[in-house]
Amino acid sequence: MSDTRFAPDRGLTTRMVGTMFFIGLLYVVFVGVLVALLRGAWPIVLVLAGGLFVAQFWFSDRIAAFSMGAKEVTPEQAPELHGAVDRLCALADMPKPRVAIADSDVPNAFATGRNRKNALVCATTGLLRRLEPEELEGVLAHELSHVAHRDVAVMTIASFLGVLAGIITRVGLWGGLRRVGGRDSNTAILVVLIPLISAVVYAISFLLTRLLSRYRELSADRAAALLTGRPSALASALTKVTGQMARIPTRDLRQAEPFNAFYFAPAFSKDSLSRLLSSHPTLEQRLDQLGRISAQLGRA
């Protein structure tokens, strides 16, 4: 963080290192258990695990951006959005990421990229239509802090490992059962044991990424407020975006829910159970922190 003007956060760095270590260890143990259980299919498991991990590392940002409907725009196509990003990058002394817009009425923004050189910041049409310029800059500063802190790359990789566990389980189990012929007594044990192990791996990785995600959102709010010097503008954007979510059709909210970990504010449908394990701290926690920062800046 020494090469940008975003406020450093040692707590975030420590949590990112810890999350990646434990998830990486979990992943290695998981693959090792599968290799031990599916002896006849161990080449399939190893090749699949290695290939998918490399593919995720190199293409995670493109996959995420495509899945969320991001389309890169030029300064001529979106002059106000580019202008805001230009001002913030100059203020933060960081390279300008690619800029994109997602055609969605859900008011939100997100950032992707495995590093600063190929990062992308995206705002939805719903967000651009609803926010004032100062509010938009607060949201964009929040997203740019994710890029500067590199936590967006950590979250992308960490989130994928749980999904990868399920893929490897299905393919490895299929290959292993075919080799044993599906007739010996061990087959019945494998059918029960391997999905159970996969579920445990997914649950642990899910909880680890949720704990990191909540902290990183508070860290991004803090960094954005300190960089812009306008915590009240970010608080206003948070309040407005959260309030507007209730007016979005349930179908659109359900489509956005799988990507909540990447969004500026979570999108929940009315009957969603995701609120119980949200990727974000509550609105009250975020506003309370911004209020304290505003008071500190006022005293300074």
Which residues are known binding-site members? 142, 146, 217
* Binding site residue list for Zn(2+): 142, 146, 217
User: Is residue 76 flagged as an active site residue?
Assistant: no
Cα 260 to Cα 65, 67, 254, 256, 269: the distances in Å are: 13, 12, 10, 7, 12
Q: Cβ(40)–Cβ(164) under 8 Å?
A: no
Q: Cβ(106)–Cβ(252) under 8 Å?
A: yes
Which ranges of the chain does DSSP label H, i.e. alpha helix? 10-37, 42-67, 79-92, 125-130, 133-149, 151-180, 185-228, 231-245, 250-256, 283-299
Which structure tokens are listed for 172? 């490895």
Buried b (16+ CB within 10 A) or exposed e, 61-80: beebbeebbbeebeeeebee
Determine which one of 132, 137, 143, 284 is catalytic.
Answer: 143
Q: How many angstroms separate the CA atoms of 8 and 115, rounded? A: 17
Q: How many angstroms separate the CA atoms of 130 and 249, rounded? A: 16
Cα 229 to Cα 157, 199, 297: the distances in Å are: 32, 44, 8
Q: Cβ(16)–Cβ(220) under 8 Å?
A: no
Q: How many angstroms separate the CA atoms of 196 and 23, rounded? A: 18
Q: How many angstroms separate the CA atoms of 198 and 120, rounded? A: 32
DSSP state of 132: -
Q: Which residues are tagged catalytic?
A: 143
